[in-house]
A and B are shown apart, each in its own frame.
Chain A
Amino acid sequence: MSAGRLKVLMLGWEYPPVMAGGLGTACYGLCNALKAHADITLVLPKSSAAMVQDNLQILGVNQYGLDQAATVEQPPHRWEEIVEEVIEVPGNELHPYPISAVHKRVIEHLKFDPSDDQEVRALYETDEPYGANIMQKVAVYAEVVSKLALTKDFDIIHAHDWVTYMAGVRIKELTGKPLVVHVHSLETDRIGTQAKYMQANAVYEIERYGMTEANLCIPVSHFTKQCAADHYGINPDKCRPVYNAIDPEPTFRIDRAEGDKIVLFLGRITFQKGPEYMAETAYKVLQRYPKVVFFVAGVGDQLDQLKHRVEQLGIRDKFVFGGFLKKAQVKQVLAQADVYFMPSVSEPFGLSALEAAQFQIPCVLSTQAGVSEVMDFALKADYWDTDRFANYIYALLNYEGIRQELIEHTTENLEEMSWDRSARDVLAVYHEALTQG
């Protein structure tokens, strides 16, 4: 390790190949770019073996207590290899924090001895990053990782999302090192702003605690910074938004000369993603432009409701439900789509819009999606404004000028976005936290 380089203790949760949402993608992209500028020790709940790659050391709590020297060193992961292995969550349900209040209460009464290394390892030896015992995992992670931290040399703590905030704050207390928390999403995005009024919503409380105790916060957009201020009372002066990015990737196009045009919705079918607004918009478009299908890729707790809704509206035959798609399948769909539609009610960033843009698909986004802040050449409306969404989608299906204009300029914009730029922004936040004193 060269002198003068920052040493970062990075606390992550999702990471390829264990992923449920955008958190893993973002954490991977950021760490990969950041390692050129800093030495990183990334602690995850699970890693298949302790890996050292350049300046990125990855430790899994599932390996906790084992002799690190005895583990096999593996070649560095490459993105392409990783994404093929995405784990489908049992039960075909894919939402990242599937915990109900009932579960939480049960879990908190479970007995667990974190001093038993074997029991600790077993807790994380799973491909489901969340699950019903998520609170237990979070608590044990905080305990174990803070012990682990005392054996490591680092300058700053960087914690990703609420699952690691308890650990981050604990380590800050133990070591006096500054803590930066990265806010990829918030409970108020996931279940709505009622989160802040719910009695004993542990996730909300942990988020507020983590952001309050942190020296600086890194929300993934100004939208999320505003949410932190509005719903958590976090001082905007301590927030330094850093946008997510996308690395160049070869794309392709499958031309479909005949047949209906495709409007694509990609993501979890949850309240946060605005599926009901999608249905309403589709209904309006179809009144005047029947030669289009709405392809819904993803699963979630609102899927049945969405199906019911489109049935009710009499447009079920214009919807294709693709279920959960693997990366390669996603690309196939992207290569054929004509419009990418993201009517999110509350979306901290929305990385999938950048992927769609990379595939030269014009995007219709809600202004409540953080990604809309970086995409000047997209069509944007408030999530509830389905008249406007419908007008935009109709235009993209009918008027060539707007398609060309959006695609051409978005492609130029994408060239300016990179994880390296995000990493440099994060580095600046580190330096600020370190010099704050």
Chain B
Amino acid sequence: MLSKITPDYYLCTTISMAEQSPDRSNINPLCSMTNIVFYFQVHQPFRLRHYSFFNIGQSHIYEAANLNFELLNRIADRCYLPANEMLLKMIKDYGPDFKVAFSISGCALEQFEMYRPDVLDSFRRLLDTGQVELLAETYFHSLAALYSPMEFVRQVNKYKAKLKSLFGYEATTFRNTELIYDNAIATQISKLGFKQTVAEGVGSYLDAVSPTAEATHIFKAPGSNGPKLLLRQYRLSDDIAFRFTEPKWPGYPLDADKYASWLRALAIEQKAESINLFMDYETFGEHRPLSSGILDFLYFLPQAVAAYPDMKFATPSEVLSTAKPKKVYDVTKPTSWADDNRDISGWVLSHTQKDALKRVYALEEAVLAKGNEALIHQWGKLQTSDHFYYMSTKYWGDGVREVFSPYKSPFDAYINYMNVLADFEQTIKGV
């Protein structure tokens, strides 16, 4: 899911907008390397079909199969395949100078299997290069970390098993849905055996003077077992994800040399350990059209970065496995990568969202007691965070916000979901 356009949309990065030409003499005084970490999120929910109260008790078909099929095909052709192709070419052309990480939700993986196995093959080719890392997440891209620690464990394990069966891959770095994170979640992550994770660099939990800059350092969660952390550099990430095609933005048009100079400026200014650029993979071709030249930008970026000998691309695992962070990221309330607040209010704020979440998680015991894999799976799909995001009334009525929703209103999203859930509840009671 794309975090939405924020009021600082038109603001340029904190780094000077002045064009800087590569300056090789100005070597990082610490003589240490700054890592550039790309991580792309791939996720497609199982969107629900129009499900009226008349369907309750009559139909157990919940999903808009045609819509999901069409969207997946569209995004596969516009984004996943061409972008994967480009990454493969980059890895071939640049060798070890270019690396990326992905997190691909279980919902997306299932839809690739059903509708577009060619996309899976394309990811396999990327993985085969050994320069691509896959992160672990909750299978259903859910909010289980906030609502049910037990379900969270089940979903993470289910996801790990999925990666193994599809790719023969063992993930070592965890990323939670929408980068939702706090100390309690860090504890859950660590109990699952993960020693490293990623999160949003949220100002209120960082150095108040320069939170953006501080996010370039490597952190760890509180406690002796606290996982090590990379924090998202949101301004530089959003320069690509949001502002790349925005003519009113002072940085427009963005090219690889300019962007690399900003990375370099931040690296020197902050003695940065790692500049973490996390974004939706759909940025490349779906949110930003291919005609904008965004893939060319990506292609030339490693070249531009290579002009500075003290910056290199790395995967989260490479950076974190050897790191010995001293800084503690102490997050008392859940944060995320969405909206301006970077909290969880996009999913859990309105009465409708809270009501729907309460009801779906209240089914846990009854669903598990059935011991029916299909029902457990269906329940998991009903937990996908997108359903609740569509219900967000946070910006409803202000007419400014773009909402990536198949519904006409957040109320329709809630009502449709509740009708589906009512049928599912009846099924659970009846089976």
Instruction: Give chain A's interface residues, CB within 8 Å of chain B.
Output: 284, 287-289, 376-377, 379-380, 387, 390-392, 394-395, 398-402, 404-406, 408-409
Query: Which single residue of chain B is at the shortest CB-CB distance from A397?
Result: B53
Are B355 and A391 in contact (CB-based, < 8 A)?
no
Contact of A395 among B53, B351, B393, B396 (CB under 8 A): B53
Are B415 and A391 in contact (CB-based, < 8 A)?
yes
Closest chain B CB from A222 CB (angstroms): 13
Residues of A within 8 A of B355 (CB): 399-402, 404
In the bound complex, CA of A284 to CA of B55 (Å):
12
Are A401 and B354 in contact (CB-based, < 8 A)?
yes
Are A395 and B418 in contact (CB-based, < 8 A)?
yes
Residues of B within 8 A of A401 (CB): 350-356, 414, 418
Are A392 and B350 in contact (CB-based, < 8 A)?
no
Residues of A within 8 A of B397 (CB): 376-377
Query: Which single residue of chain B is at the shortest CB-CB distance from A409?
Result: B393
Question: Contacts A405-B351, A405-B352, A408-B351 known; A288 to B56 CB distance under 8 Å?
Answer: yes
| Subset of 30 A-B contacts with CB under 8 Å | A284-B54, A288-B53, A288-B54, A288-B56, A376-B396, A376-B397, A377-B396, A377-B397, A379-B411, A380-B409, A391-B53, A392-B415, A394-B53, A395-B418, A398-B418, A398-B422, A399-B355, A399-B415, A399-B418, A400-B355, A401-B352, A401-B353, A401-B355, A402-B351, A402-B355, A402-B415, A404-B355, A405-B350, A405-B352, A408-B351
In the bound complex, CA of A284 to CA of B422 (Å):
18
B52 at the A/B interface (Cβ < 8 Å)?
yes
Query: Which single residue of chain B is at the shortest CB-CB distance from A396?
Result: B415
Query: Which single residue of chain A is at the shortest CB-CB distance from B399?
Result: A376
Residues of A within 8 A of B356 (CB): 401
Query: Which single residue of chain B is at the shortest CB-CB distance from A407?
Result: B351
In the bound complex, CA of A284 to CA of B53 (Å):
10
Residues of B within 8 A of A409 (CB): 393
Query: Which single residue of chain A is at the shortest CB-CB distance from B396?
Result: A376
Residue from A284, A288, A395, A399 with most neighbouring chain B CB atoms (10 Å):
A399
Query: Which single residue of chain B is at the shortest CB-CB distance from A403?
Result: B351
Query: Which single residue of chain B is at the shortest CB-CB distance from A390?
Result: B53
Residues of B within 8 A of A392 (CB): 415
Residues of B within 8 A of A400 (CB): 351, 355
Residue from A399, A401, A406 with most neighbouring chain B CB atoms (10 Å):
A401
5 more A-B contacts (CB under 8 A) besides A399-B415, A399-B418, A402-B415? A377-B397, A387-B52, A402-B351, A404-B355, A405-B414
Are B415 and A395 in contact (CB-based, < 8 A)?
yes
Number of A-B residue pairs with CB-CB distance less than 8 Å in the complex they form = 65
Residues of B within 8 A of A377 (CB): 393, 396-397
Closest chain B CB from A94 CB (angstroms): 33
Closest chain A CB from B410 CB (angstroms): 8
Interface residue count on the B side (C-beta < 8 Å): 21
Q: Which 7 A-B pairs rank lowest in CB-CB distance, beginning with the nearest?
A: A401-B355, A376-B397, A404-B351, A394-B53, A401-B352, A395-B415, A405-B351
Instruction: Report B56-67 CB contacts with A as 1/0, cut-off 8 Å.
Output: 100000000000
In the bound complex, CA of A402 to CA of B53 (Å):
15
Are B411 and A402 in contact (CB-based, < 8 A)?
yes
Residues of B within 8 A of A405 (CB): 350-352, 393, 411, 414
Residue from B53, B351, B353, B422 with most neighbouring chain A CB atoms (10 Å):
B53
In the bound complex, CA of A390 to CA of B53 (Å):
8
Are B352 and A402 in contact (CB-based, < 8 A)?
yes
Q: Which of B377-431 contact A (CB under 8 A)?
A: 393, 396-397, 409, 411, 414-415, 418-419, 422
In the bound complex, CA of A399 to CA of B52 (Å):
14
In the bound complex, CA of A95 to CA of B64 (Å):
46
Residues of B within 8 A of A391 (CB): 52-54, 415, 419
Residues of A within 8 A of B409 (CB): 380
In the bound complex, CA of A380 to CA of B350 (Å):
19
In the bound complex, CA of A180 to CA of B411 (Å):
39
In the bound complex, CA of A391 to CA of B55 (Å):
11
Q: Which of B7-57 contact A (CB under 8 A)?
A: 52-54, 56
Residues of B within 8 A of A284 (CB): 54
Q: Which of B351-382 contact A (CB under 8 A)?
A: 351-356
Query: Which single residue of chain A is at the shortest CB-CB distance from B415?
Result: A395
Query: Which single residue of chain B is at the shortest CB-CB distance from A395?
Result: B415
Closest chain A CB from B257 CB (angstroms): 46
Residues of A within 8 A of B353 (CB): 401
In the bound complex, CA of A62 to CA of B352 (Å):
55
In the bound complex, CA of A1 to CA of B52 (Å):
61
In the bound complex, CA of A25 to CA of B411 (Å):
31
In the bound complex, CA of A395 to CA of B422 (Å):
11
Residues of A within 8 A of B350 (CB): 401, 405
Are B414 and A402 in contact (CB-based, < 8 A)?
yes
Are A399 and B414 in contact (CB-based, < 8 A)?
yes
Closest chain B CB from A14 CB (angstroms): 32
Residues of A within 8 A of B393 (CB): 377, 405, 409
Residues of B within 8 A of A406 (CB): 411
Closest chain B CB from A230 CB (angstroms): 23
Query: Which single residue of chain B is at the shortest CB-CB distance from A401?
Result: B355
In the bound complex, CA of A284 to CA of B350 (Å):
29
Residues of B within 8 A of A402 (CB): 351-352, 355, 411, 414-415, 418
Instruction: Report B234-270 CB contacts with A as 1/0, cut-off 8 Å.
Output: 0000000000000000000000000000000000000
Q: Which of B306-321 contact A (CB under 8 A)?
A: none
Instruction: Report B303-347 CB contacts with A as 1/0, cut-off 8 Å.
Output: 000000000000000000000000000000000000000000000
Residues of B within 8 A of A408 (CB): 351
In the bound complex, CA of A409 to CA of B398 (Å):
13
Residue from A380, A402, A408 with most neighbouring chain B CB atoms (10 Å):
A402
Query: Which single residue of chain B is at the shortest CB-CB distance from A399?
Result: B418
Closest chain A CB from B291 CB (angstroms): 36
In the bound complex, CA of A394 to CA of B355 (Å):
16
In the bound complex, CA of A379 to CA of B53 (Å):
15
Closest chain A CB from B347 CB (angstroms): 14
